[in-house]
Amino acid sequence: MILPEPSLRRLPWYLAHVKLLMNSGVEFVSSTQIATATNVDASQVAKDLSLLEISGKTRVGYEVKSLVEVLEDFLGFKKSHKACIFGVGSLGGALLQDSGLEQYGLKVVAGFDIREDIIGKEINGISIYHINDFYKIQEEEQMVIGIITVPVDKAQECADLMVKGGVGAIWNFTPYKIKVDENVVVQETSLYAHLAVMFNRLNEK
């Protein structure tokens, strides 16, 4: 089921809240409680949760433990998606060190770069290879997600290489708008665009 992006972005908020409840031993939660905690309209929460295969009980609401499981499963966090990172510079190297991603279903298994001084090394137990070795590694690893953290002028080239190698989704951290075949999923996360929005709002106060 292809979900609307706004719902998909709200579900992790609910999950974060419900996980907290679970860890404090709470057994049931109502959509109204979730709504208050996450600052989302109650009818919207109910609508979002209706997308899941779980139903609340009258008066008591949803069973917290089941809701956590259903949400994690639904969001794909319980499956392990193999990924690689192109560009082991400051941001790429940083993401390699973020072991939090693995808990959310993203397993980075390889890094690629062209800088001789880091090729052959490991970061956080993950090997760094030369970009020229991508196809070879891809044959062994069958990575489904490619993360791009190269300089902007190399972003398109890397995307093309990944797509040729059979990667199904690209997570683009550069501010460059890459173009790929429409059956490839592209997720843009430009931290700099978020900075621009934040600076603008801040300076207008």
Enumerate binding residues for a copy of itself (CB under 8 A).
1-3, 5, 8-9, 11-13, 15-17, 19-20, 23, 37-40, 75-77, 79, 81, 89-91, 93-95, 97-101, 104-106, 144-145, 152-153, 168-169, 171, 174-177, 179, 183, 185, 187, 189-205
Write the secondary structure of the chain as one string of H (helix), E (strand) and C (coil).
CCCCHHHHHHHHHHHHHHHHHHHCCCCEECHHHHHHHHCCCHHHHHHHHCCCCCCCECCCEEEHHHHHHHHHHHCCCCCCEEEEEECCCHHHHHHHHCCHHHHCCEEEEEEEECCCCCCCCEECCEEEEEHHHHHHHHHHHCCCEEEECCCHHHHHHHHHHHHHCCCCEEEECCCCCCCCCCCCEEEECCHHHHHHHHHHHHHCC
The residue among 124 and 132 lying less far from a copy of itself, judged by its C-beta, is 124
Q: Which amino acid is at 87?
A: G
Give min distance, CB of 117 to a copy of itself, in A. Answer: 16
Shortest Cβ 200–a copy of itself spacing (Å): 6
Shortest distance, position 99 Cβ to a copy of itself, whole Å: 5
For the CB of residue 44, give the shortest distance to a copy of itself in the complex, in Å: 13
Cβ closest to a copy of itself, residue 55 vs residue 203? 203
Q: Is the dihedral of CA 69, 74, 80, 86 positive or negative?
A: negative
Instruction: Choose between 43 and 97: whose C-beta lies nearer to a copy of itself.
Output: 97
CB-nearer residue toward a copy of itself: 7 or 57: 7
Least distance from a copy of itself to the Cβ atom of residue 203, Å: 6
Judged by beta carbon, residue 164 or residue 179, the one nearer a copy of itself is 179
Question: How open is the CA angle 173-92-165, to the nearest 5 degrees?
Answer: 75
Which residue number, 96 or 119, has a Cβ lying nearer to a copy of itself?
A: 96
Taking the complex as a whole, how short is the minimal distance between the CB of residue 39 and a copy of itself, in angstroms?
A: 5
